[in-house]
Amino acid sequence: MVDVAVNAMTDWASHGSNANTGGYFDAANRCDALLDSTRSVLGDFLGADSSGICLGANMTTMTFAFTRAIAQTLKPGDRIVGTRLDHDANISPWRIACETAGAEHLLAPFDPQTGRLDMVALEELINERTKWVAVTGASNLIGTMPDLKAIIALAHKHGARVFVDAVHLTPHQPINIRELGCDVLATSPYKWYGPHAGVMYIDPELLESLPIAKVRPASNTGPRKFETGTPNFECIAAVQAAARFLIEETMERIVTSEQAIFAPLLEGLLATPGVTVWGPHDLVARTPTVSFTVDSLTPDRVAQELAAKKIAVWSGDSYAMEVVAQLGLTNSGGVVRAGVARYVDENDVKHLLSTIRGLVSR
């Protein structure tokens, strides 16, 4: 977490004047004001109408709540289209909603060579029965960024709505929901230097009409309709601070600096004999995240060797189990995933590459 977010959380918890929403006294008013100002800052950060900004525990929990509501709007024969590039948090909630409603759930493949979403296959799946297209803004495993604008236009042409999982996209690219035109977008502040929390933009008109499970006294309108129970105010204070940090920093600057640090990482891995890079081999339409395997070592083993050198990488499928399955790597332990974030520098990249070269030459 960035220090301004840590401080915002501590300040909120320690200022001694916080309670809950909906009261007539100062501490209650401050809670209302915190929710309002956070929605407003997130609206600025994501280019969205702040009256659609909902706050919650994390993307997965919020997506399940959302798709439970959607399940009630589906009929047998309806179709939901997803992609195999997606994290399972944007697949299983839809799969379960379809099972509940007797609807169809179909996933568009990606090209295992290039890691790019197969747009022809996607187009073939979207028809007049399609109610939702659930697509990732970027693969958390191989970094591919599908062409969201084209997908949203295609879905809307057929009368389908679009749910974008922007959890992996948000820390690496500017997002403007108004320009994108998606109906729902989910993101997780802990991926962008904030606290463990979730944020979901839901088109305000859609939000009004959704049959969301709620307790009777809770609001029947606006984001509070979707935000069950007492908000996690201290976390929300930190979410707002993290968003302010990124607005000030500018995502454009982050993109430029991350790409400069990532390019030698990708190049270095591609040039190392005994290393296979999965997903795109170029820098086009991708995040600074790369997955690879090392000949004759399991991904877990590689991650352990790197951890011993103080290099933190993930191994396995990182919940992108469809990606790993389509790459044919399920039975061999998936991949090793390394990524560049705001605090990673060129020395970190050099250290990672020299450690990998040492492993390969053993």
Ligand X SMILES: Cc1ncc(COP(=O)(O)O)c(C=O)c1O
Contact set with ligand X (CB under 6 A): 58-60, 87, 89-90, 136, 140, 165, 167-168, 188, 198
Return the number of the residue (59 or 356) whose C-beta is nearest ligand X.
Answer: 59
Of 43 and 93, which CB lies nearer to ligand X in the complex structure?
Answer: 93
Token digits of residue 191: 């991926």
Q: How far is the CB of 319 from ligand X (least distance, A)?
A: 6
Mark 216-239 as b/e (b = at least 16 C-beta within 10 Å): eeeeeebbbbbbbeebbbbbbbbb
Pick 63 or 272: Cβ nearer ligand X: 63
Burial of 28 (0-12, 13-18, 19+ CB in 10 A): middle
Number of Cβ within a 10 Å radius of residue 128 = 8
User: Which distant-in-sequence residues (6+ apart) come within 8 Å of 14 by Cβ?
Assistant: none
Which residue in the block uniquely carries the two structure tokens 């007492």?
230
Contact (CB, 8 A) for 138 and 145: yes
Nearest residue (CB) to ligand X, 131 versus 168: 168
Which lies closer to ligand X via its Cβ, residue 136 or residue 293? 136
User: How far apart are CB 359 and ligand X at their closest, in Å?
Assistant: 26
Q: State the minimum distance, in angstroms, from the CB of residue 165 to ligand X.
A: 5
Q: For 102, list phi and psi in degrees, rounded to 5.
A: 75, 25
Q: How far apart are CA 313 and CA 5, in angstroms?
A: 24
Handedness of CA 314, 320, 323, 328 (dihedral sign): positive
Task: Count the Cβ atoms, other than its own, within 10 Å of residue 185.
Answer: 28
Closest to 106 measured CA to CA, from 81, 123, 71: 81
CB 291 within 8 A of CB 277: yes
Minimum separation from the CB atom of position 33 to ligand X (A): 26
Give 58 or 355: the residue with its C-beta nearer to ligand X.
58
237 three-class SS: helix
State phi, psi for 262 to the nearest 5 degrees. -75, -35
CB 187 within 8 A of CB 199: yes
Shortest Å distance, C-beta 53 to ligand X? 16
- Shortest reach from residue 274's CB to ligand X, in Å: 28
- The minimum distance between CB 245 and ligand X, in angstroms, equals 19
Give min distance, CB of 195 to ligand X, in A: 11
> How far from chain centre, in Å, is Cα 353?
27
Cβ closer to ligand X: 52 or 194? 194
User: CB-wise, 85 or 294, nearer to ligand X?
Assistant: 85
